[in-house]
Amino acid sequence: MSNSSFEIKKYADLPNNVLVSQKDGFWYTQNESYFHDCGILYVSESRFSYCIMTKGLDKVNATKVIGTIVNKSYSFINEQGVGS
């Protein structure tokens, strides 16, 4: 899971020392679009699990939303010293 084709570290602008194991999935039809990403952030000695599910966004916008949420989550963890 740490070698996913969806590079969440890139979209979330995470530091190189953060390991992420993740699984993404997408489904697009004429009327519906879904893009999901679930994973584990390994921050120092701590682990943070996330699962973000989108509906109604194209893949470009869904990746931006998911990247922003993961980035904000990582920033919060880092600010709180949870990973220390």
Is the per-residue pLDDT at 2 higher than 60?
no
Query: Which pLDDT score, from 0 to 100, does residue 12 have?
Result: 95
Domains of the chain: 8-77 (2.20.25)
What mean pLDDT is predicted for residues 39-55?
A: 91
> pTM of this prediction?
0.83
Q: Predicted confidence band at 4 (pLDDT cuts at 50, 70, 90)?
A: low
Query: CB of 50 within 8 A of CB of 41?
Result: yes
Q: How far apart are CA 83 and CA 25, in angstroms?
A: 28
Q: Tell me the pLDDT of the chain averaged across its residues.
A: 87
